[in-house]
Amino acid sequence: MNYKLIIMTKVKNLLLTILLLCGTTVWGNNGLRISGRIKVLKPTTLQIKDMNEGVVLSCIIGTNNTFSTDEINIIPDVYKLYLGETEQNIYLENNPVTINGYFDEKNPEQSSLSFTGIDPFLTLQNYMPAEKDPDIATISTSVKGKLTPSMASALAYLADVNDYQSNKMLLDMIPEQDRKSLSAKWLVNRVEILSHQIIGAECPDFTFTDANGKNVSLKDFRGKIVVLDFCASWCGPCRKEMRSMLTIYNELKADDLEFISVSLDDSEAKWRKMLDEEKLPWVMLWDKTGFPKNSKTPSAIQTDYGFYSIPFLVVIDKEGKLAARNVRGEQVREAILKIRQ
């Protein structure tokens, strides 16, 4: 069966799409060859790269607008389709793929491309907002049985859902011996990271510098309830949340409670200026890595704790285990009191 799609289309109902595809998709045993007719304004390079940017296939779309790559055998997985400098994630297996249409590199949003020979639900790069669409967590048993291992890991990679249960469910569909693709290896690592972000999991340790230049680690506070705040001087909501935290601190302070703010400022001077302005009575640390401008390359602490925006607060119990995450204001107070019960 041939599938066609416009490259910029967003899938609105993931579960329904999977049900339809799993019931109708039939793959052959050919190698991968990409061919077609794309109207271009100038000679354009078409490339297929793996997730590590290694070139798998390449050809030039010339002035006659037709093209065809060599035929090769690949590991079914997520690959990157490049037309000139325009990049698109795509799921490929060992089947012929045809791409037809019009491509304008200067105005890619005006391009119109149709594909045959691929699964459209695995073609789209950002079809499901992370942590907002629960569809991936509600895939029925019948659908799970029809997704191939390579589809499962590709789906996890493309959906990029920041949720342990959803990713673990997909990983469990992939036998150990089939975890050789790059997306499968990515998924194994993702599940390991997310396992530390579920309630009751032991929180990852870290070591950062305090205002006196002393190294301070999370493990230093074992035996205490810890309210951990990730912030930055330039973040208005962070500064506002600190004042809310101060109210809770003054109300609940005791020997069993510690507040820690970790600044992600890119400058020590900016961090120290914030310290002088806020004059907060708890532990203030600085992660000199800063807050990455590119969300695709989060810092180590962002990866460990699973956050991509600030302020971000977690509450840790006396055993160093996660009691609450992504909480604010009254939620922080409630989490502390619950641990004290």
Nearest to 148 by CA among 177, 178, 169, 118: 178
Cα 70–Cα 147–Cα 144 angle in degrees, nearest 5: 170
Which residue matches tokens 């793929």?
97
**Which residue, 231, 210, 208, is CA-closest to 218?**
208
Question: How are beta strands 225-231 and 257-263 bridged, if at all?
Answer: parallel
The structure's pTM equals 0.61
* Residue 60 pLDDT: 94
Query: Burial of 176 by CB count in 10 Å (0-12 exposed, 13-18 middle, 19+ buried)?
Result: exposed
Q: Specify the pLDDT at position 29.
A: 57
What residue ranges define each of the domains in the chain, with the CATH number in brackets? 14-122 (2.60.40.10), 134-197 (no CATH), 207-340 (3.40.30.10)
Interacting residues of 123 by C-beta distance below 8 A, sequence separation 6+: 5, 7, 88, 89, 90, 91, 115
Question: For residue 57, what are the β-bridge partners?
Answer: 48
Supply the Cα-derived Rg of the chain in whole angstroms.
Answer: 24
Which of 156, 193, 192, 196 has the alpha carbon at shortest distance from 174?
156
| CA–CA gap between residue 265 and residue 291 (Å, rounded) | 7
DSSP 294-318: -TTS--HHHHHHT-SSSSEEEEE-T
pLDDT digits (tens, 9 = 90+) for 198-235: 899 999 999 999 999 999 999 999 999 999 999 999 99
Residue 146 is predicted with a pLDDT of 62
The pLDDT tens digits along the chain (341 residues) read 333 332 223 323 333 334 334 433 444 457 999 999 999 989 999 999 998 889 999 999 998 999 999 999 998 888 999 998 888 888 888 989 999 999 988 888 888 888 888 765 554 433 333 334 444 555 545 455 666 778 778 777 776 667 788 788 888 888 888 888 888 888 898 888 888 888 999 999 999 999 999 999 999 999 999 999 999 999 999 999 999 999 999 999 999 999 999 999 999 999 999 999 999 999 999 999 998 876 667 899 998 898 888 999 999 999 999 999 999 999 999 999 999 99
Specify the pLDDT at position 277. Answer: 96
